[in-house]
């Protein structure tokens, strides 16, 4: 089954063709980062307008790269939520219009299920059951995964998501959007030990997270330095390193706890923050000690992309799941509401 996947939940227009027999045939992405940078974050109205502009040319490009024509496509998967409603509606309308014109089924896919399954596009994919750490701009969740659609939420953030904390911390130090890659780059030049930030909620049992206090610690430290006349690049890098270390260690402690609680030894990390090299190294070291394994996607499939939507959609479309032609998207959508296969 050849599935066209469309992703438009935020600031990336992603398109891909995934075939159940041959795997991923082609994928194309247009990132709106340059468009939103001037505003220090995503402007929803601009995001929607840009998705409208990019979608059809990207579909053409993906078909050409895969050496396919429209009539080869068996079904369409699109991101139906969670995300920005205006942006989601672009992908949903486009998917349903093409599905109607081509007389094929369409299916709305959960964005976080897409992220969660993205490591399965790689060689040596994870086997069920496993624990998943979902860390993106909008989510920080630990989930027990027993199969596609069988998700048990173990813990999540009470306030900011990990990616959001990276973005806000970077912004207050005058760094560009998105902050995650900027902080991780700056952290490479940082001096370890000059600043130490708290590891939130690690001193009590449970699998919940909280990152807003950590962001405030970084802000206070930056302001104290500036008040003392030090707003140097080195200080920025030292704060970036201390912040990243605090996030990484906190996530590692909670992942270890989740593995212990479930008795599992496989950990999947997914979402934009899973591209972070320090996080990967820390989790690999922890899983090495436990004789377990950590799985993640290539960096371009950690952040938003069409391939993960085509893949997740294909799994569901193959067992006959599809929708009528109504166009409905959801800004909020708990993953536990999904059905199994």
- Residues in contact with Zn ion by the rule CB under 5 A: 136, 304
Q: Which DSSP string corresponds to 191-237? A: PTTS-----TT-SSSSS-B--HHHHHHHHHHHHHHHHTT---HHHHH
Name which of 113, 105, 120 is nearest 319 in CA terms. 105
Q: Considering the complex, state which of residue 114 and residue 149 has its C-beta at the smaller distance from ligand KG4.
A: 114
> Least separation, in Å, of the C-beta of 2 and ligand KG4?
25
Report d(CA 278, CA 294) in Å as an integer: 14
Partner whose binding site includes residue 255, from ligand KG4, Zn ion, none (CB under 5 to 8 Å by kind)? none
* Residues that constitute the known binding site for Fe cation: 111, 115, 304
Residue 36 touches which member of Zn ion, ligand KG4, none, C-beta under 5-8 Å by kind = none
Binding-site positions: 111, 115, 134-138, 167, 180, 276, 304
Q: How far is the CB of 300 from ligand KG4 (least distance, A)?
A: 10
Distance CA 55, CA 149 (A): 28
Q: Which does 292 bind (CB under 5 to 8 A by kind): Zn ion, ligand KG4, none?
A: none
Q: Where are the beta strands (DSSP E) in the chain?
A: 2-7, 12-19, 23-31, 75-81, 106-110, 130-135, 140-147, 150-156, 266-270, 293-295
Pick the closer one to ligand KG4 by CB: 105 or 271.
Answer: 271
Cα–Cα dist 97/93, whole Å: 6
User: Rounded to the nearest whole angstrom, what is the least distance from the CB of residue 79 to Zn ion in the complex?
Assistant: 9
Helix, strand and coil percent figures for the chain, each rounded to 5: 45, 20, 35
| Shortest Å distance, C-beta 1 to ligand KG4 | 26
Shortest Cβ 247–ligand KG4 spacing (Å): 8
Nearer to Zn ion by Cβ, of 114 and 190: the residue is: 114
Joined tokens for residue 317: 């479309």
178 binds, among Zn ion, ligand KG4, none (CB under 5 to 8 A by kind): ligand KG4
Q: Which stretches of the chain bind ligand KG4, using CB under 6 A?
A: 10, 115, 136-138, 163, 166-167, 178-181, 184, 271-273, 275-276, 303-304
Mark the binding-site residues for substrate, compressed into ranges.
134-138, 167, 180, 276
Residue 273, classed as helix, strand or coil, is helix
């Amino acid at each position: 089954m050849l599935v066209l996947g469309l992703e438009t939940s935020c600031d990336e227009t992603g398109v891909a063709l995934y075939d159940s027999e041959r795997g991923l045939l082609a994928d194309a992405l247009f990132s709106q980062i340059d468009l939103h940078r001037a505003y220090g974050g995503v402007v929803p109205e601009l995001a929607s307008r840009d998705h409208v502009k990019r979608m059809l040319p990207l579909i053409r490009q993906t078909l050409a790269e895969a050496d396919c024509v429209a009539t080869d496509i068996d079904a369409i998967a699109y991101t139906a939520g969670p995300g920005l409603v205006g942006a989601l509606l672009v992908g949903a309308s486009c998917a349903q219009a093409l599905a109607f014109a081509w007389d094929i089924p369409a299916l709305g896919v959960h964005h976080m299920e897409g992220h969660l399954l993205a490591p399965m596009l790689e060689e040596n994919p994870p086997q069920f059951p496993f624990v998943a750490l979902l860390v993106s701009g909008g989510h920080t969740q630990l989930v027990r995964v027993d199969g596609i659609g069988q998700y048990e939420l173990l813990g999540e953030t009470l306030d900011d998501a990990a990616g959001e904390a990276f973005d806000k911390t970077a912004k207050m130090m005058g760094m560009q959007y998105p902050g995650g890659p900027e902080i991780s780059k700056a952290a490479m030049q940082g001096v370890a030990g000059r600043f130490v930030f708290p590891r939130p909620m690690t001193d009590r049992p449970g699998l919940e997270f909280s990152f807003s206090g950590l962001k405030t610690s970084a802000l206070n430290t930056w302001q104290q330095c500036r008040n003392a006349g030090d707003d140097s690049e080195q200080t920025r890098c030292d704060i970036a390193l201390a912040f990243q270390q605090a996030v990484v260690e906190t996530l590692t402690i909670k992942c270890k706890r989740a593995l212990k609680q479930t008795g599992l030894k496989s950990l999947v990390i997914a979402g934009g923050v899973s591209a972070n090299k320090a996080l990967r190294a820390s989790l690999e070291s922890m899983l090495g000690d436990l004789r377990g394994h950590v799985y993640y996607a290539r960096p371009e499939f950690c952040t938003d992309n069409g391939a993960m939507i085509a893949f997740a959609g294909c799994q569901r479309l193959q067992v006959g799941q599809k929708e009528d032609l109504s166009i409905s998207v959801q800004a909020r959508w708990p993953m536990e509401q999904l059905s199994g296969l």
